[in-house]
Amino acid sequence: AQSVTQPDIHITVSEGASLELRCNYSYGATPYLFWYVQSPGQGLQLLLKYFSGDTLVQGIKGFEAEFKRSQSSFNLRKPSVHWSDAAEYFCAVRRFTSGTYKYIFGTGTRLKVLA
């Protein structure tokens, strides 16, 4: 069965430090991968997506992610974290099944940023 795993439930980093959030997927075909961010009390907002081509994708707010097929991973990175990055981050995979697109989300990683 297709699935998305985010092994870290909580991560705490200091402002200005680098960040890497892990995501592993299980999917038979070439995956369509996404990272979404959820600020407190808000809906989810797309950070970036990978469909094909260059395996390093750039997103909004200075985030990037790298697709590694050999490791079935799509980790999210940011060189220098800002206090406003504190939020919950979700990795997701999209699949086409039963005539429609469905999105499978990971369980999320909550990021705390220390001043």
Residues that bind other proteins (CB under 8 A): 9, 34, 36, 41-46, 49, 51, 90, 94, 98-103, 105-108
Nearer to other proteins, 22 or 94 (CB): 94
Nearer to other proteins (CB atom), residue 15 or residue 32:
32
- Contacts of 2-5 spanning 24+ positions with Cβ under 8 A: 2/26, 2/27, 2/28, 2/93, 2/95, 2/104, 3/104, 4/91, 4/92, 4/93, 4/104, 4/105, 4/106, 5/106, 5/107
Q: How far is the CB of 93 from other proteins (least distance, A)?
A: 12
Q: How far is the CB of 72 from other proteins (least distance, A)?
A: 18
